[in-house]
Amino acid sequence: MTASGPGGWLATFAWVAVVLLYAALSSVWTAHDPGWYARLVKPSFQPPDVVFGVVWPLNFLALLGVGAWFTRSAASTGVWPATLVLAASAAAALAWAWLFYVPHRIGAATVALAVAVVLTWVLVALVVRSLPWAGVALAPYAVWLSVATALSVQYSRLN
């Protein structure tokens, strides 16, 4: 049975709301103190800033598109657990954005992002089980968060 009933629409709404809130708050917090960020010693493998400007919107679009399709097409038993893991992962990623850019607590931010990465890989596994192509489509986002975590570890070490 797919998630095509009223509960499926509620899951779709929840998934989309989580992603939109994640995108909005992270963009506010990452723009909080650009002067502070510019003064940080950067890791040697830091991508150019333009990469972040391209990759993050694509990640959010992938989360929205995959989520909308997944919540409407997957077996109803798999939709809510994945949606809850998405929410937890987004909350941890938002904790990273706030901790890193607002009070500048790089070490604590790194821990939050590590939690987000683990939860995101759990999300990929849950989605793959219900709708394999959708889980595979989320994997680049999980890889990107993994790279971001490695960067955060280095920021913590260097600064």
Write out the two tokens for 84: 């809850």
Instruction: Pick the closest to residue 130 from 83, 87, 91, 92 (CA basis).
Output: 83
Residue 104 lies in a domain: yes
Q: What is the CATH number of the domain that holds 14?
A: 1.20.1260.100
Residue 13 lies in a domain: yes
**pLDDT by residue, tens only, the chain of 159 residues:** 455 555 578 989 999 999 999 999 999 999 888 899 999 999 999 999 999 999 999 999 999 999 989 888 877 778 999 999 999 999 999 999 999 999 999 999 999 999 999 999 999 999 999 999 999 999 999 999 999 999 999 999 999
Residue 76 lies in a domain: yes
Write out the two tokens for 66: 């995959």
Q: Which domain holds residue 115?
A: 6-158
Residue 1 lies in a domain: no
Q: How many domains does the chain have?
A: 1
Instruction: Give whole-number Cα distances, 139 to 13, 45, 79, 91, 100, in Å.
Output: 22, 21, 17, 19, 24
Residue 130 lies in a domain: yes
Is the pTM higher than 0.95?
no
